[in-house]
Amino acid sequence: MLEFETTNVWNHSIYGYLFLKYMPPLSDYAEAILYHHSSWKDIQNAHIQYGDYAAMIHLADRMDVAFTYHSGSEALIKLLNKSKALFRPDYFETAIQCIKNHSILPQLIDHSYRAENFKLCKTFHPSTKEALDYLKMVVYSIDFRSDHTVTHTINTVAIAVNIARHFHISEDELENIYLGALLHDIGKIAIPLSILESPGRLNDEDMFIMRTHVEETGYLIKGIVPDEIYQLAMRHHEKLDGSGYPEGLCAHDLTFPQRIVAVADIVSALSSRRSYKDPFPKEKTLSIIEQMGKTQLDPDICQYICTSYDQIMEDTDNSRIQVIDMYQHIVSEYERMMSQQHLATANSI
């Protein structure tokens, strides 16, 4: 644990800092993530606004690592004491007392702390804008894992909204479609990057794992969002002929908004660069959509895609400019800060 405190901590600290810096809900607290592996002395010397947050995250992070190897209180305390000098003294003493009086370990072992966390979260009442900002932050944490996925979700949202407006969907349903499309791939946070970024065709085992992202999405959002939004996200891989997944639903099971999100997801995938392919040209994309519109996808929606593809893609390109700019700022600033960190490390040796 002591070795980990001094090596390999800056990559994710810098990226986490930059990610939050560009996210409206938590941008003010970004520096707490940048310094969450720093000693209490270094945190104080940095004079950051939320240094106490950084110190608390640091201690909680180290407690989690220690708990992974030693679930017994005596061994856990012994391990933590070895790096006592790194932590804010009053936080450290409180943590030790929580371990000694058995107020924390049982909750970690039986996972009852989750109920406490959920109860605490229920006291938070964000505005509609704040809630949407938090949703986007979670979604971007998945899409920003690589430049192959950075725009997939926002493309799906833009295409779905475009389709919905063409068919004069009500404002309430339009909002549901927007949120359903925004959340449709959130379960990919549970899929290994080696599978998400596989350069070739997935084997059967990896494809099975990839498909579990739908169930993972359901696990994350069920009971948190209205049922209609939940179903929109859960059914984006279902097909009219029953060949989709995870439930193998058929045409009579799928609402028109659900069909919209399903088509938008496929158009986004076909027209975007992925780890295993370049963007398909317009002709190939439309050929696939036209063919799928015969049995698997809603024919009216597919016909609209085929007749209005250029305008849909233009609108989609415009909608993702802000997201691409954000991502590029994060990448370029990350490279600059990592270069500075490597230089500082070399000079200190």
Express each pLDDT in 320-338 by its tens digit. Answer: 898 889 999 999 999 999 9
pLDDT of residue 346: 67
* In the chain, domain spans: 2-124, 128-328
In this model, does residue 32 exceed pLDDT 50? yes
Residue position matching structure tokens 């549970």: 190
pLDDT of residue 11: 87
Express each pLDDT in 120-134 by its tens digit. Answer: 988 999 888 888 898
Bridge partners, 274 (sequence order): 277
Find the mean pLDDT for residues 286-305. 98
In this model, does residue 153 exceed pLDDT 60? yes
pLDDT of residue 275: 72
Q: Which of 54-63, 198-207, 306-315 shows the lowest mean pLDDT across its residues?
A: 198-207
In this model, does residue 10 exceed pLDDT 90? no
Express each pLDDT in 231-252 by its tens digit. Answer: 999 999 999 999 999 999 999 9
pLDDT of residue 142: 82
Q: Which of 143-152, 169-178, 279-288 shows the lowest mean pLDDT across its residues?
A: 143-152
CA 146 to chain centre: 12
* Range 128-328 classified under CATH 1.10.3210.10: yes
pLDDT of residue 143: 84
Across the chain, mean pLDDT equals 91
In this model, does residue 91 exceed pLDDT 90? yes
In this model, does residue 2 exceed pLDDT 60? no
The structure's pTM equals: 0.82
pLDDT of residue 70: 76
What are the phi and psi torsion angles at 274 (to 5°)? Answer: -125, 175
Find the mean pLDDT for residues 194-209. 90
Position 343 confidence tier, pLDDT thresholds 50, 70, 90? confident
Find the mean pLDDT for residues 94-108. 90
Find the mean pLDDT for residues 245-271. 97
d(CA 49, CA 55): 12
pLDDT of residue 7: 53
Q: Which of 26-35, 197-206, 282-291, 299-308 shows the lowest mean pLDDT across its residues?
A: 197-206
If one compares 145 and 297, the residue with the highest pLDDT of the two is 297
pLDDT of residue 6: 47
d(CA 24, CA 168): 31
In this model, does residue 224 exceed pLDDT 90? no
Q: Which of 92-96, 115-119, 280-284 shows the lowest mean pLDDT across its residues?
A: 115-119
pLDDT of residue 1: 43
